[in-house]
């Protein structure tokens, strides 16, 4: 039993990220960010958004489209005097077993994917209505203007052909025109940028926006951007960060089995898409080492044959009794699975916090946080995972001491929808 305990302890310890490690990663992240900002080639793309701070006086009716992963959402918003009203919305999945289609596969064309998007929008536009559109497209793009972004590569295991290297809003505009739908794309942005824009409406000090959900990425307000010498929101594409991270053998397995090994390393360590797979790999290892499921009654087939998602990880943490009942295993097994899930979650939060600190150290030009900052976060990991928000606050207090009081963290909902409408309003005033 002692050996088994030792194995478990070593596994859990592999996911520990101590204060010194957080500061080291934060420093490396800052160095990488600043090198990239100067034009050096690094793992951080530092994509300009061409969007600064909104005025708060934007107004009008706008269409938005949000493709964050395998879900598509089209929404119509009214903006007036700092108030927002949702006038209509449609949600569709890009993969449907019931209707027998999958628009994310390599044998599906860009025409088919963007045609589907246009048809969705057509369902909520009024006859004769003409609208500007803000497009939230949450994949790495080379942004060359407020309305011009070229997909660098698909992530989140999407592989639709004929899209990489293309101007996304042109593909969308062509699909809308082909169907005589009077909607004009005027801005394309990342969901992190949208999250920050929404926060800026409510909080003067908001200057970092982040997604902690299926995917992971962060943006921030650069006060002295090389392109304009002034304020601009920069999409870091921080999910691709890969320097000095505490990679375990389980992370290596996840990376090896992914669509693009070597890419999006941080995202594979912290995002909801991979979190379940990570817990599963750890549990497999513990099972092979006879740490869990040692009873002959345990239903290991059901446990290991299914795909693990982030919701399952959440349930492992919250309901060990259910885990025990569902897989006919002992409560000790269920508690071990809970401990693994908690270790993975805690590492997620602390690694993400390290990247936020890297941004803050850049903004402050040092390791003291003297000014007020608001970090706006959207996504199910931060919102729903047990104690994720508390873990984040604790991490800042542990690393920064009293300086942590200058950092506010806010859950900001619907950055990808409302943020896109605000961005569209900003874009037409810039015309």
The pLDDT value given to residue 2? 61
Nearest to 71 by CA among 43, 98, 92: 92
Residue 207 has pLDDT above 70, yes or no: yes
Confirm if 323 and 334 have CB atoms less than 8 A apart.
yes
Residue 431 has pLDDT above 70, yes or no: no
The pLDDT value given to residue 70? 78
pTM (2 decimals)?
Answer: 0.89
Token digits of residue 241: 């960060």
The pLDDT value given to residue 57? 84
* pLDDT (tens digit per residue) in 371-384: 999 999 999 999 99
* pLDDT (tens digit per residue) in 23-65: 999 999 999 999 999 999 999 999 999 998 888 888 999 999 9
Percentage, residues of the chain above pLDDT 70? 99
Strands lying side by side in the sheet with 60-67: 83-93, 71-80, 60-67, 131-137, 183-189
* pLDDT (tens digit per residue) in 110-156: 999 999 999 999 999 999 999 999 999 988 888 899 999 999 988 87
Confirm if 278 and 346 have CB atoms less than 8 A apart.
no
The pLDDT value given to residue 55? 85
Percentage, residues of the chain above pLDDT 90? 84
215 CB burial (10 A radius; 0-12, 13-18, 19+): buried
The pLDDT value given to residue 1? 43
Residue 182 has pLDDT above 90, yes or no: yes
CA distance 379 to 359: 20
Q: What is the DSSP letter of 298?
A: -
In this prediction, residues 94-106 reach a mean pLDDT of: 89
Token digits of residue 167: 């101007």
The pLDDT value given to residue 56? 82
The pLDDT value given to residue 360? 98
- Ordered structural domains, the chain, with CATH: 2-43+205-411 (3.40.367.20), 60-189 (3.30.420.40)
CA distance 250 to 402: 36
Token digits of residue 401: 């001491």
Token digits of residue 72: 């598509």
* pLDDT (tens digit per residue) in 245-271: 999 999 999 999 998 899 999 999 999
Task: From residue 259, give the alpha-carbon distance in Å to each of 36, 106, 278, 308.
Answer: 26, 12, 16, 17
């Amino acid at each position: 039993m002692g050996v088994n305990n030792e194995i478990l302890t070593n596994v859990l310890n592999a996911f520990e990220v101590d204060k010194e490690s957080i500061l080291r990663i934060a420093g490396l992240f800052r160095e990488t960010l600043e090198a990239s900002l100067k034009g050096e080639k690094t793992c951080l793309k530092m994509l300009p958004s061409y969007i600064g701070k909104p005025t708060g006086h934007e107004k009008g009716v706008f269409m938005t489209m949000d493709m964050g992963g395998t879900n598509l959402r089209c929404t119509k918003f009214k903006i007036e005097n700092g108030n927002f009203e949702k006038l209509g919305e449609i949600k569709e999945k890009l993969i449907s077993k019931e209707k027998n289609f999958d628009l994310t596969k390599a044998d599906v064309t860009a025409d088919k994917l963007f045609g589907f998007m246009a048809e969705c929008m057509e369902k909520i536009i009024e006859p004769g209505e003409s609208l500007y559109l803000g497009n939230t497209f949450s994949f790495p793009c080379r942004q060359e203007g407020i309305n011009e972004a070229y997909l660098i590569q698909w992530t989140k295991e999407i592989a639709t052909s004929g899209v990489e290297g293309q101007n996304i809003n042109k593909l969308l505009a062509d699909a809308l025109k082909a169907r005589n739908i009077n909607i004009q794309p005027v801005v394309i942005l990342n969901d992190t940028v949208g999250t920050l824009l929404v926060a800026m409406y409510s909080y003067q000090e908001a200057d970092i926006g982040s997604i902690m959900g299926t995917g992971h990425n962060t943006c921030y307000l650069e006060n002295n951007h090389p392109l304009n010498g002034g304020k601009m929101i920069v999409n870091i594409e921080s999910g691709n960060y890969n320097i000095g991270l505490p990679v375990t053998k389980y992370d290596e397995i996840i990376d090896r089995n992914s669509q693009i090994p070597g890419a999006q390393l941080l995202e594979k360590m912290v995002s909801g898409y991979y979190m379940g797979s990570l817990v599963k790999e750890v549990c497999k290892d513990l099972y092979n080492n006879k740490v869990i499921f040692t009873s002959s009654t345990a239903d290991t087939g059901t446990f290991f044959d299914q795909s693990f998602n982030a919701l399952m990880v959440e349930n492992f943490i919250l309901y060990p009794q259910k885990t025990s009942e569902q897989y006919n295993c002992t409560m000790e097994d269920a508690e071990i699975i809970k401990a693994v899930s908690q270790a993975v979650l805690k590492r997620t939060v602390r690694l993400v916090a390290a990247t936020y600190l890297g941004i803050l150290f850049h903004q402050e030009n040092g390791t003291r946080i003297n000014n007020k900052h608001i970090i706006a976060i959207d996504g199910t990991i931060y919102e729903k995972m047990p104690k994720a928000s508390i873990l984040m606050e604790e991490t800042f207090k542990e690393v920064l001491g009293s300086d942590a009081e200058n950092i506010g963290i806010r859950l900001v909902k619907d950055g990808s929808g409302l943020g896109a409408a605000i961005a569209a309003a900003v874009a037409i005033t810039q015309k």
